[in-house]
Structure 1
Amino acid sequence: MKRSLILAAAALISLLPVAGHGADAGKPVHPAVSSARPEAVKPKEQTPVTGKVMQTMNGGGYSYILLKKASGDKVWLAVPQMDVELGATLTFKPGMEMADLQSKALNRTFEKIIFSEGLVDGKGGKNAKKSAKKSPGSKGSVATAGEKIKVKKATGPNAYTVAELYKLKGKLDKKKVVVSGKVVRVSAGIMGKNWVHIQDGSGDAKKGTHDLVVTSQAVPVIGEVVTASGTLYKNKDFGGGYKYEVIVEKAELEIQ
């Protein structure tokens, strides 16, 4: 197993683009990295990684997933982009660990992160197959929060709760709205924008009216409470599975 991991690391490095001239010339740079100086890839994890999904965000063709192991330890993984549910217990293939990795797409640095090829066949947990079949847009990407959420309604004449935006979508179509919510999922750098899922505790999870997608140039962190100001559209279809009953476009995000 150790030999196969070393060979895999060598293969990965051989596929990475090479930095330019100077002191860093010839050093490997992962496609998700903006810095040319991450620590060398190390065959750290040699066994599958199992844990509960605490956070997930997409960017640059990768899904960045924070797992909480049974021991209580938390670990970040980067896998080819996929949709997973918050709260699901999943098992991922072992992979190479990188330190101080900076993601261009997410504009953040991971102190340590494991690059995995994806889920272990047959060991993804009860929600694995369902998650893998989800489309990136529309009802397929509705996020299920791993905790009870209660966010105070935004203030002002154009302020609404998430549930009210769904209820009044006909009246509010193409109008400015303001809504507050907790960030539960982020998909960055898709179609030139970032897709942020927020929830405030209102709405019906069974009907999908509890989860609102907001597009923005900002990239908030999962768990932050934000107030979004933008234009609401009903039944917006971007193609490629990105179809939304309600969406707030070109939003400015203010962190609470």
Structure 2
Amino acid sequence: MKKLLLAIGIAGMLLACNSKPKVIEADSSTPVTQQPMVDESATKLHKVVVEEILNTEKYSYLNVSEGGETFWIAIPKKEIEKGGTYYYRGGLKKTNFESAEYKRVFETLYLVSDVSKDPGMTGMGGGGNPHANLSNTTPADKNMKIETPPGGITISELFANRKKYEGQTVKIRGKCVKLNNMIMNRNWIHLQDGSTKDNKIDLTITTTEDIPLGAVVTVEGKIALNKDFGAGYKYEIIMEEAQVLQ
């Protein structure tokens, strides 16, 4: 399904297959023309009851209810109990989201990284060393070609001229290829845009907004160099307090 493809995955997750949801899959064919809308309460804890489940090979569409309202969310495929109560944070809002597999259009659907039965959200990016999964380099997608946003720069440009951009607010468009959520009260996202400089191909950003794995987003934030978070984890370059632009 060419109109759909983890734009999610908070289980450390969320490749190209025409039969899979496109806006949520980490695949080079994820549409780059449609900007996701960010839920106003990106860090709010949601408590929902699952009313209906629609599974694909890699993802689950869940019709859930919360506070008397029902709506759809999409997560990486996992075993979900109908009638069960689950928790999640944030989500990217999509409108008129088409599923070719189910031959239907979801008027409103939220792309969510994961859900948990634990209100403390354990197993969803927490536990262990908070930067252990962030220090590894994600393999480059050589077919990825993402358009640079107006007034923005590429990741390779940032790495090539890091001193120029240190302490500056910059705009970058890229695909979320790795994430770790709600560690130290922020989400840690790896972005790639298809550009490379000295074998460096992704940029780590921190944000309080929820960006599902595979989502293509335009972000804006301040650049810091040689940022040391302790425990031996240090970033040569990082974008902090990034905001997802509409």
TM, length-normalised to structure 2: 0.51
Give the aligned partner of residue 155 of structure 1: 150
SS in 2 for 1:152: coil
1:184 and 2:177 correspond: yes
Q: Which runs of 5+ in 1 are unaligned?
A: 1-53, 78-94, 119-133
Shift of 1:223: 2.3
| Partners of 1:214 and 1:136 in 2: CA distance | 14
| Partners of 1:67 and 1:149 in 2: CA distance | 12
Shift of 1:237: 1.1
The correspondence for 1:218, drawn from 176, 184, 209, is 209
Give the aligned partner of residue 137 of structure 1: 134
Aligned residues between the structures: 156
The correspondence for 1:244, drawn from 208, 227, 235, is 235
Asked if 1 retains the 8 angstrom alpha-carbon contact of 2:140 and 2:194, the reply is no
Measured at CA, do residues 76 and 145 of structure 1 come closer, stay the same or move farther in structure 2, by a change above 3 Å? Answer: farther
Measured at CA, do residues 147 and 213 of structure 1 come closer, stay the same or move farther in structure 2, by a change above 3 Å? Answer: same
Give the aligned partner of residue 57 of structure 2: 74
Give the aligned partner of residue 80 of structure 1: none
| Partners of 1:104 and 1:114 in 2: CA distance | 7
Give the aligned partner of residue 35 of structure 2: none
Return the letter of the residue paired with 2:202: D
Which structure would you say has the larger RCO, counting Cα contacts within 8 Å and 6 or more residues apart?
A: 2
Asked if 2 retains the 8 angstrom alpha-carbon contact of 1:183 and 1:222, the reply is yes
Asked if 1 retains the 8 angstrom alpha-carbon contact of 2:189 and 2:204, the reply is yes
| Partners of 2:15 and 2:211 in 1: CA distance | 19
Give the aligned partner of residue 235 of structure 1: 226
Shift of 1:147: 6.7
- Structure that is richer in helix per residue: 1
Measured at CA, do residues 76 and 150 of structure 1 come closer, stay the same or move farther in structure 2, by a change above 3 Å? Answer: same
| Partners of 2:196 and 2:153 in 1: CA distance | 12
| Partners of 1:217 and 1:192 in 2: CA distance | 7
Q: C-alpha deviations, 1:151-181, integer Å up to 9, x for none?
A: 111222xx21000111111121111111111
Q: C-alpha deviations, 1:55-96, integer Å up to 9, x for none?
A: 8744xxxx354699xxx962469xxxxxxxxxxxxxxxxx96
SS in 1 for 2:132: coil
Q: Which runs of 5+ in 2 are unaligned?
A: 1-5, 21-55, 61-77, 92-109, 118-122, 124-130
SS in 1 for 2:138: coil
Give the aligned partner of residue 200 of structure 1: 193
Return the letter of the residue paired with 1:250: E
SS in 2 for 1:230: strand
Q: C-alpha deviations, 1:169-194, integer Å up to 9, x for none?
A: 11211111111111222211011111
| Partners of 2:58 and 2:79 in 1: CA distance | 13
SS in 2 for 1:233: strand
| Partners of 1:56 and 1:175 in 2: CA distance | 29
% identity of equivalent residues: 29
| Partners of 1:67 and 1:148 in 2: CA distance | 12
Give the aligned partner of residue 167 of structure 1: 160
| Partners of 1:102 and 1:64 in 2: CA distance | 18
Return the letter of the residue paired with 1:248: M
| Partners of 2:214 and 2:79 in 1: CA distance | 27
